[in-house]
Structure 1
């Protein structure tokens, strides 16, 4: 693999894929990023999703940056825990990982729990909110510690909607590739074109809304 190769940006949507107005789809249209397609978006199989990511990474010698949303974040962790080709990934942006170990989601997404807890072998930023209905902020913070990801709090609307801040894809990717990991705590604050918010309930934020 050439160290001079420009990285590919791979879009990893979550359960049911990302629709045309989703920020991932917006980035794909604006910047030509590549979506990793799945055989079945409605009934996701963890092994199949991992294999699809592996195949896409092996199809090109260029390094990759992974841009994952929701279940795509869990996919990244599962793939990294089993693949021998993690060196092909430079960095990952992990937005709104769901708590698939929660009882209701465990039933809707069988086979995705337990979540891989190994530290990711590449730089990563995890973006979470205090009002995500699919996972509490403290659970996301726990994942950031386990995966050794930089943790960033953001407004729920910024995670789910194509706001102006989320349209600045290349700047966000640059922040993801260049942050410095804290060797003691495993994650730290980072700077970038992020829509920020303060957690309203202390360091762990509020619990999720139930569907």
Structure 2
């Protein structure tokens, strides 16, 4: 479901829950454990997927449909706890998005400091079109990432954008060819890991604390 691979000073958290990396409770709990359990020597973390053409499809919609209100609230709180944990990791985190990244999957990617994407991948927050709320923190994270106007467009319409458009509007940082995204993210992470650890940690914490000024 989730495994951690160490590449020198870089930890890679690999999501491997076919067919779509749906975020049920065990998946989210294991993701949180994996993030909290990276070795002390880690200087950067990459989150990737081993499922072809999928980063993550996000929340477990069938579960949400049958759960009562208390269960739903508990599930949302777990999502917030796991995504929020990324704000407190001392090292930079990078999402390697080489496949569909929707709903909770995009919430996870938005929780990372940097997003590397393939040009044609699809990213979106379709929750409003499904009659639910993106409750894991995506609403404020996407507004902070790209500003009010484009964020409201995506949130209210549920439209899916390409990786190329994501880079154009600032939702993602870099493009990489399909099949090379994880390698590109790992190379980026290795470069960051080679810098002064104290400086990288300080910059990471300061950047996360900044509220951008935007439309």
TM-score under structure 2 length normalisation: 0.41
TM-score under structure 1 length normalisation: 0.42
| Larger helix share, 1 or 2 | 2
| Larger strand share, 1 or 2 | 2
